[in-house]
Amino acid sequence: MVLHPILQDLVKTPFFRYFKVKLWCDCPFWPDDGMCYLRDCTVCECPESEFPEPFKKSSRLFSADDVICQEGKPQAAVDRTLDDTIFKGWIQIDNPWTYDDETDDAAMTYVNLQLNPERYTGYAGPSAQRIWTAVYKENCPQYPSEEWCNEKKVMYKLISGLHSSISVHIASEYLLDSSANLWGQNVQMLYDRVWKHPDRVRNLYFIFLLVLRAVTKAADYLEQAEYNTGNHVEDLKTQSLVRQLLYNNKLLSACRVPFDEVNIWQGQNGPDLLQQIQNQFRNISAIMNCVGCEKCRLWGKLQVNGLATALKVLFFVDGKNNLQRNEVIALFNLLNRLSQSVKFVHDMGPLMEKMERHDSSPT
């Protein structure tokens, strides 16, 4: 896949590796949930401007006490190592698609995504299940009863595709032996959670193509946008990678339209649909505040924001420059995560087919 290596380089650039996010929990649905004590335990939720200069340059990792706050699992903790790169130049308004107030700088923090990869964290059980159930119910009140969902199938497919992608990342970077800190692939998990369910694989491809199409559609805006972090050399590289990516995307769309957005949500009224989808995203974004593992919350928020941005571009933005920096960062990082998931599933295909044959052979 020609896009994947470019995306991998792009998300490592200073512009794309910092995501602004509100991390401490403010769950509006289950205030008595045990995970809310995490807020007091996490040490540094203060705004970047309050950090002393030397802290910004040092590699400050969590103390042992902090780690206990992350449900006792170091792999679930967000690494807040900072450097002195601070973004400037983009207009900041509160995004109506997200629950958090992005203009509330005191509550927001920059996170270096490269130091906090999306992978296995150990977050599971009733808390995780409750989040997924709430997210599915948000776009389909009678989930899993299909008949109630017809007109909302698109949202279901997108959420399911995102869920598949998260499962793929857990399986591709799994903690195989905690005492030896040994990480590797959990192919049985990939098979059980994703491959065995062809609709989940299809939904993964569906969301990937939708986000790819959104990036293609916003190509002119994205090409002209300012990728300024104050590091001239790195910023030129970012600009060049964005162009390479868009150039490839343009080629792709010229050869074969990868996604036909005109034909989805057919027959629905534009303004009503916009309001409905925006509300759904605000609610899903609010549900993300209830995710009891900080690193999962970070990636959950980023990917929901990236998906909302893709839908905004595809269906509701009329060519005006109204994407925010954080939305563009979320959009490209989401595309990269999806691209990586698709690649992993594709590469594992032969092994998965073998497991499938073994599964269906008579014992």
Provide the annotated binding site: 119, 121, 132, 160, 163, 193
Binning the chain into helix, strand and coil, the percentages to the nearest 5 are 60, 5, 35
282: nearest Cα among 32, 101, 21: 101
For residue 121, state whether it binds ligand FAD (rule: CB under 6 A): yes
At closest approach, how far in Å is the CB of 76 from ligand FAD?
A: 8
Cβ closest to ligand FAD, residue 66 vs residue 118: 118
Annotated catalytic residue, options 25, 27, 149, 296 = 296
CA distance 216 to 27: 35
**27 in active site:** no
Q: Does 23 bind ligand FAD (CB under 6 A)?
A: no
- Going by their DSSP bridges, the two strands 109-112 and 174-177 should be labelled as unpaired
Q: Using the rule CB under 6 A, which residue among 132, 142, 262, 354 binds ligand FAD?
A: 132
- Binding of ligand FAD at residue 111 (CB under 6 A)? no
Q: Does 285 participate in binding ligand FAD (rule CB under 6 A)?
A: no
If 0-12 CB within 10 Å is exposed, 13-18 middle and 19+ buried, where does residue 37 land? Answer: exposed
End-to-end CA distance of the chain: give it in Å, rounded.
38
Nearest-angstrom CA–CA distance, 302 and 345: 22
Please say whether the beta carbons of 60 and 112 come within 8 A: no
Q: Tokens 């698709």 — which residue? A: 342
Tell whether residue 166 is a contact of ligand FAD (CB under 6 A).
Answer: yes
Decide whether 218 or 296 has the Cβ nearer to ligand FAD: 296
Active-site residue, 290 included: no
Q: How far is the CB of 112 from ligand FAD (least distance, A)?
A: 16
Q: For residue 128, state whether it binds ligand FAD (rule: CB under 6 A).
A: yes
Type and span of the H or E element at 155: helix 153-172
* Type of residue found at 91: I
d(CA 64, CA 236): 39
With contacts defined by CB under 6 A, name the span among 66-74, 179-187, 231-239, 296-304 that binds ligand FAD. 296-304
Question: Coil, helix or strand for 52?
Answer: coil
CB of 86 to ligand FAD, least distance (A): 27
Binding residues with ligand FAD: total (CB under 6 A) = 22
Using CB under 6 A as the binding rule, whether residue 118 contacts ligand FAD is answered as: yes
Catalytic positions are 293, 296
Residues that bind ligand FAD (CB under 6 A): 118, 120-121, 123-124, 128-129, 131-132, 160, 163-164, 166-167, 170, 193, 200, 291, 295-296, 299-300
